[in-house]
Structure 1
Amino acid sequence: MPVEGGSSSGSASATRHPKQKRKAHSLSIRRTNSTEDRPQGVQRGDMLEGQDSKLPLPIRSNLLELFGQIEREFENLYIENIELRREIDSLNERLTGDGQTIEGGDPTKGALKTKASHSTSQLSQKLKTTYKASTSKIVSSFKATAGSRAVCQLLKEYVGHRDGIWDLSVTRTQPVVLGTASADHSALLWSIETGKCLLRYAGHAGSVNSIKFHPTEQMAITASGDQTAHIWRYMVQLPAPQPPPDAPCDDDQDLSDREEGEVDGEGPCEVPTVRVPTATLKSHQGVVIAADWLVGGRQVVTASWDRAANLYEVETSELVHTLTGHDQELTHCCTHPTQRLVVTSSRDTTFRLWDFRDPSIHSVNVFQGHTDTVTSAVFTVGDNVVSGSDDRTVKVWDLKNMRSPIATIRTDSAVNRISVSANQRIIALPHDNRQVRLFDMSGVRLARLPRSNRMGHRRMVCCTAWNEENQSCNLFTCGFDRQAIGWNINITLLLQEK
């Protein structure tokens, strides 16, 4: 099962420079000789006379006086940082009204998390880091949000899973619904407009790591930690746009608070449950991390932690090809929307392009453009592949010449499962640090989705998916905070601002 990887701040003392260590040692001496520890009525001279030291008394007195000055400087710096934090909170409250927030404005996220038990050296290091970083974050946040303030709006939250959501997808047939795959061993189908859960698939015995819908039929394929992929059919009926006021369930109800039986269809808000798949694909020897339909929907491809990808016939569940060559676990697979092409990504820092257009020749190309795990690689409508990685970069490649990327996007956090809009070719990047950013294919940053304590994701964002058939709710995100979110992105305004 995938493992959550949120961003965290390391201890300041863990990476301290040798000079800083010597300084910390001196400061620790100062604390043992501070006035707070002296018995009442004992003067500095009395303390010095009673200690065994080779230093002359005037020199020792001078050292203590210098350490006292250092301590007063740290106290002043601490007071200044408190005032700065208050100013940041004030700016945060003002910007929250516009749907924005300052990235450094949450006191629980910053480096300034001091306690009385911290040593002076640890405190000074944290204070200096925060003092320098906070002001730069304020400036960069204004720049980052200036162009996205009016174009990104949260429309709907889809809450009902009992564990993190790894993947989501939108159906390609009518009725158009949202599907989510979760670590709680289930996949849910949702009404996009009302946010209500329409159906639950509970056939897996492990985490459901991915969900993809058939291009023309009401079928879905889910990949799971139980080492299988399931193909299952669904039938859903969309609820009325405006349910009566006395309806037993409203949009604001949190399904995660229900009892187990209620989600299975035995409670006041009945949710139909599918437990038996149409087909079970079980040739892998490890976690199946992703699956997708090839063009036409007659074959599917699965990617696994056993370092292989498998190609199956849907009608017979027969294994057609085993795609081997990756040195480490696979993380994702994606198929081309119009051609028999497959791209697989791996923890071995590479992604591979598999070509099945010629039945007699199955070629493969290996691309080594990243320095860490490639978390996903996806096709665009044109002749491009976009890859994202834990090395905090996203690269855009041309299928006709993939020796080097045509664009590189550098970010401040690991990138998870990305998506590219078909019409406007905008890349949506989900990050470990709870942010979602939008870029165009040339690497120009277009917007950052708003996030604050009252809106947006509260833990790492795992996946994004575009839904351009719906002009209102046209982007979906999901994360390990157990919720999926529907957004309205004013793409026209974004392109004008670019």
Structure 2
Amino acid sequence: MPIESGSSAAARQVKSKRKPHAISIRRTNSTEQERVSSQREMLEAQDSKLPTSIRQTLLELFGQIEREFENLYIENLELRREIETLNDRLTAEGQTVDGGDLSKGQLKAKASHSTSQLSQKLKTTYKASTSKIVSSFKTTTSRAVCQLVKEYIGHRDGIWDVSVTRLQPVVLGTASAASGDQTAHIWRYIVQLPTPQPVIDSNQMSGEEEVDFSDKDEADGEVECPSESPTVRAPTTTLKSHQGVVIAADWLVGGKQVVTASWDRTANLYDVETSELVHSLTGHDQELTHCCTHPTQRLVVTSSRDTTFRLWDFRDPSIHSVNVFQGHTDTVTSAVFTVGDNVVSGSDDRTVKVWDLKNMRSPIATIRTDSAVNRISVSVNQRIIALPHDNRQVRLFDMSGVRLARLPRSNRQGHRRMVCCTAWSEDNPICNLFSCGFDRQAIGWNINIAALLQEK
């Protein structure tokens, strides 16, 4: 058809015009790089109150902004040149569409459509570029409000869970691997945490380096256990009723009952004094991954690989109602209560969802991430969600889904493997957030919550 041959000719014409333009682009970039380098040297030579690392980071970020806009401008010129060439070709040859001549109105509409597509592409590119730059600024700022304080080393295998006492004295508990003998144990031992000593000043870091650690960084032999962690070998109570690995446990309000979750697809409610099974919570179609109790009410939420989480109500002894929630598309790795009327759930589908207990039909907020989310925790006072990820990151969000910060991670600090769990300890003046992972260590962090919320 005539329109096809004309388009091919126009395409060849556009292609032939691109070669010399590509050379000019390279020359422009080279000149621009020299100019940016010259400006950077001038700025560095000036007397500035900013630390060298921060000034260097700012220069790099502004350089990124300039390069992004230059690329957008060049792409804009390219696309507009193609549109003009095609329109001129179509007008000169009087080509037909569906058997009819192209009128000036049709040509104008076609050009308008092409321009609209160009505008949308520019908006999308601009949005992605500015989002990356803003994220870089946030990362730089977050180092000042999120600092690593202490690394707790002693386990010989990956750490699945970390928990902190809600009352004084503050006690940190960690769990390595799972209870493969199908039992849960209750231990009675109190030891106050020693005062952690800072191991590194995160403000001295020049940037976030994403470094993969080789196997030589983690020896296969035993890790030396610090003297500050005494060994207790005799539990006071053993809970036996599960037919599979026990993967999680939590206390009901009052401390007289405890709930456990297992790979046998059930959760069990026990009486602590007698060790007797009070209720077996059945209904999940696949293995359970987590269980959590409400801090002030007799409510339990269980998570499962069946992509659901379930809410169990024990406030009335004669009624044990259950609600099933299907808001995720992959394994629900955890679901936790907040002090208010909210439940926050995390999943391998890379989302975290905030739910209102009064209306659980749909989430009130959804957080989308770039990695699977493991056992989350929510601060009691400030309602900040700490998200541990498979990609070794820990991110902080508020309950409306706004990202607040990302904990520093580089070749000098942070987790080296998947982060499994987080736990808040807001009354601790030194370490108010803890995390643990498959790198066999737990980390205590100091989060300046006031500064974090002020930046928001």
Q: Shared topology, TM-score over 0.5?
A: yes
TM range (shorter): 0.5 to 0.7
Aligned 1:86-235 pairs, distance under 5 A: 94=53, 139=133, 141-183=135-177, 207=178, 224-235=179-190
Which of 188, 191, 198 is the equivalent residue of 1:236?
191
Q: CA separation of 1:182/1:97 partners in 2, compared to 1, >3 Å: closer, same or farther?
A: farther
Which of 208, 233, 238 is the equivalent residue of 1:275?
233
Cα distance, 1:274 vs. partner?
Answer: 1.4
Matched, 1:357 2:337: no
Q: CA separation of 1:269/1:475 partners in 2, compared to 1, >3 Å: closer, same or farther?
A: closer
Distance 1:161 1:284 in 2: 25
Task: Give the unaligned 5+ runs of structure 1.
Answer: 1-68, 70-75, 88-92, 103-133, 184-206, 208-223, 243-255
Whichever of the two has the greater Rg, that structure is 2
Aligned 1:401-480 pairs, distance under 5 A: 401-480=359-438
Task: Give the unaligned 5+ runs of structure 2.
Answer: 1-18, 20-25, 38-51, 62-127, 198-217
As a proportion of its length, which structure holds more helix?
2
Q: CA separation of 1:241/1:446 partners in 2, compared to 1, >3 Å: closer, same or farther?
A: closer
Distance 2:444 2:224 in 1: 25
What is the SS of the residue equivalent to 1:353?
A: strand
Cα distance, 1:177 vs. partner?
Answer: 2.0
Q: Deviations over 1:254-280 (max 9, x none)?
A: xx98997985xxxx9485321121111
Distance 1:327 1:96 in 2: 55
Q: Deviations over 1:294-313 (max 9, x none)?
A: 00010010111111101110
What is the SS of the residue equivalent to 2:452?
A: helix
What is the SS of the residue equivalent to 1:148?
A: helix
Distance 1:261 1:370 in 2: 38
In structure 2, the partner of 1:3 is none
Distance 1:149 1:272 in 2: 33
Cα distance, 1:154 vs. partner?
Answer: 0.8
Matched, 1:395 2:353: yes
What is the SS of the residue equivalent to 2:349?
A: coil
For the 8 Å contact 2:153–2:223, the answer to whether it is kept is no
Distance 1:390 1:240 in 2: 36
Q: CA separation of 1:409/1:237 partners in 2, compared to 1, >3 Å: closer, same or farther?
A: closer
The one-letter code matched in structure 1 to 2:242 is: H
Aligned 1:223-372 pairs, distance under 5 A: 224-236=179-191, 263=225, 269=227, 271-372=229-330
In structure 2, the partner of 1:43 is none
For the 8 Å contact 2:156–2:222, the answer to whether it is kept is no
Cα distance, 1:175 vs. partner?
Answer: 2.3
What is the SS of the residue equivalent to 1:397?
A: strand
Distance 2:454 2:130 in 1: 28
Q: CA separation of 1:241/1:312 partners in 2, compared to 1, >3 Å: closer, same or farther?
A: closer
For the 8 Å contact 1:301–1:310, the answer to whether it is kept is yes
For normalisation by structure 1, the TM-score amounts to 0.60
Cα distance, 1:146 vs. partner?
Answer: 4.4
Distance 2:354 2:252 in 1: 22
Q: CA separation of 1:467/1:271 partners in 2, compared to 1, >3 Å: closer, same or farther?
A: closer
Indicate the percent of aligned positions where both proteins have the same amino acid. Answer: 83
In structure 1, the partner of 2:81 is none
Q: Deviations over 1:136-195 (max 9, x none)?
A: 996364144144232111111111111111111112343212111112xxxxxxxxxxxx
What is the SS of the residue equivalent to 1:331?
A: strand
In structure 1, the partner of 2:98 is none
What is the SS of the residue equivalent to 1:233?
A: coil
For the 8 Å contact 1:147–1:446, the answer to whether it is kept is no
Q: CA separation of 1:164/1:241 partners in 2, compared to 1, >3 Å: closer, same or farther?
A: closer
What is the SS of the residue equivalent to 1:230?
A: strand
The one-letter code matched in structure 2 to 1:164 is: G
In structure 1, the partner of 2:111 is none
What is the SS of the residue equivalent to 2:133?
A: helix
